[in-house]
Amino acid sequence: MERFIVRHDWTREEVATQYRRPLLALVMEAAAVHRHYHTPGEVQACTLLSIKTGGCPEDCAYCAQSVRYQTGLKPHRLLDVEAVVKAAQEAKAAGATRFCMGAAWREVRNNRDFEKVLEMVRQVRSLGLEVCATLGMLTPEQAAALKEAGLTAYNHNLDTSEAYYSHIITTRTYHDRLQTLEAVRQAGLSVCCGGILGLGESEEDRIDLLHTLATLEPHPESVPINALVPISGTPLEGASAPTVWELVRAIATARILMPKSMIRLAAGREKLSPVEQALCFVAGANSIFLGDKLLTTPNAPVSEDKTLFDLLGIQPLPAFADTLPA
Ligand code: SAM
Ligand code: DTB
Ligand code: SF4
């Protein structure tokens, strides 16, 4: 059917029209698209680990890990490979199929730390897990080395619209971000790229971000939709959280625009009730972070997630089911 085809030529106006549909109609359309491309009730579980925490030179206004803000975070250097493998084993035992390693770096340097990360990738991959990393900017050579080591996906978020970007980050440009995404794509890695709601952006900015994502060809295989986790000491500590309706609207629009992609209900899920989370799944979310911690902040407790999965009849998505280009 016409409305189910995967398109990369969405106009800004078409994206705005989808985004502004009456909420129930939007959610029902998204659910229909979802059913066409995905097994209802199948949800991917990814576990995050901060492998290098804090001390980041970037000035991302939302982030606990920027050296510019007094957030009270306890920094640590790059973890040992053994500690990371142990965490990955625990994540697998808890039901995760993807393990995502985050480092508070502006960019990857070709040094001993990068060699160590490559070894982490090899060893985590050998556990039968999908491996994702988010390490800041990458060169094409570094992306290729990560692919060679067995990395499945690379997370690099655009966060918001190009127009609003400089209100949130001044130490890099939107173009820098797109360049790394291109290097990741060229290396044959799966792309994980999404944004954050609640940065003080307008509806127009959200539409712009969705338009940028939906016109990437191929679409990012994973699209994390984060709600800002406000961090004391950052410029956005007092920002008001997006409502669940705004979150559902963004998820449903992303599902319609990028039918095959995994849409991740990412940071901020902890604040949602089971009913609110169920609505996000109906609207097309089919991936979550599983584990008591995100990078530096708490996530929904694993025990509660087990109850929620049982209640809703959610089945875990097997590893390597989503890694083909959309
Ligand atoms: N330093 C790397 C980078 O920025 O690309 C990787 C780690 S960074 C923490 C990964 C992503 O987490 C950011 O791009 C942002 O989208 C998300 N993030 C960070 N802090 C957040 C917060 N307080 N609330 C919601 N999302 C956040
Ligand atoms: C993404 O989009 N969200 C994750 C992951 N990719 C790296 C990070 C969320 C971080 C939330 C704040 C924190 O724990 O520091
Ligand atoms: Fe650094 Fe990433 Fe945090 Fe920005 S989001 S300050 S780049 S760790």
Give the pLDDT score at 2.
Answer: 65
Helices (H) and strands (E) counted in the chain, each on its own, are 11, 10
At 10, list the tokens: 């969405």
Examine the residue annotation and report whether 56 is marked as an active-site residue of this protein.
yes
What is the H or E stretch that residue 237 is in?
Answer: none
CA atoms of 116 and 145, how far apart (whole Å): 12
Residue 96 Cβ contacting ligand 1 at under 6 Å: no
Confidence of residue 231 (pLDDT cuts 50, 70, 90): very high
Confidence of residue 322 (pLDDT cuts 50, 70, 90): low
Domains of the chain: 23-314 (3.20.20.70)
Catalytic residue among 46, 60, 193, 280: 60
Residue 136 Cβ contacting ligand 3 at under 6 Å: yes
Give the pLDDT score at 176.
Answer: 98
User: What is the tens place of the pLDDT at every residue in 13-28?
Assistant: 999 999 999 999 999 9
- Taking CA atoms only, the protein residue closest to ligand 1 atom 2 is 136
φ, ψ at 170 (rounded to 5°)? -110, -10
| Atom in ligand 2 nearest the alpha carbon of residue 194 | 2
Examine the residue annotation and report whether 46 is marked as an active-site residue of this protein.
no
Residue 296 Cβ contacting ligand 1 at under 6 Å: no
pLDDT above 80 for 324: no
Contact 219, 263 (CB under 8 A): no
Task: Write out residues with Cβ below 6 Å of ligand 2.
Answer: 48, 64, 100, 102, 134, 155, 157, 194, 224, 226, 229, 266-267, 294-297
Q: Measured in angstroms, how far is the CA atom of residue 265 from the centroid of ligand 2?
A: 11
Across the range 272-284, mean pLDDT stands at 98
Residue 239 CB contacts under 8 Å (≥ 6 apart), including other chains: 198, 199, 200, 228, 230
Catalytic residue among 46, 98, 132, 185: 132
Residue 83 CB contacts under 8 Å (≥ 6 apart), including other chains: none
Across the range 194-199, mean pLDDT stands at 98
Confidence of residue 325 (pLDDT cuts 50, 70, 90): very low
189 DSSP 8-state letter: P
- Taking CA atoms only, the protein residue closest to ligand 3 atom 6 is 66
Across the range 188-192, mean pLDDT stands at 98
Of 180, 259, 215, 211, nearest to 2 (Cα)?
259
Residue 254 Cβ contacting ligand 3 at under 6 Å: no
Examine the residue annotation and report whether 193 is marked as an active-site residue of this protein.
no
Confidence of residue 110 (pLDDT cuts 50, 70, 90): confident
Contact 192, 180 (CB under 8 A): no
Catalytic residue among 46, 172, 185, 192: 192
Across the range 56-71, mean pLDDT stands at 98
Of 32, 45, 128, nearest to 309 (Cα)?
45
| pTM (whole model) above 0.85 | yes
Residue 295 Cβ contacting ligand 3 at under 6 Å: no
Characterize the bridge pairing of strands 262-265 and 315-316: unpaired
Cα diameter, the chain: 53
CA atoms of 253 and 21, how far apart (whole Å): 9
At 64, list the tokens: 């606990």
Average pLDDT taken over every residue of the chain: 96
The ligand whose atoms approach the alpha carbon of 160 most closely is: 1
Of 110, 167, 112, 165, nearest to 143 (Cα)?
110
The ligand whose atoms approach the alpha carbon of 61 most closely is: 3
Of 216, 217, 210, 177, nearest to 196 (Cα)?
210
- Best mutation site among 155, 199, 251, 288 for ligand 2 pocket (most ligand atoms within 8 Å of CB): 155
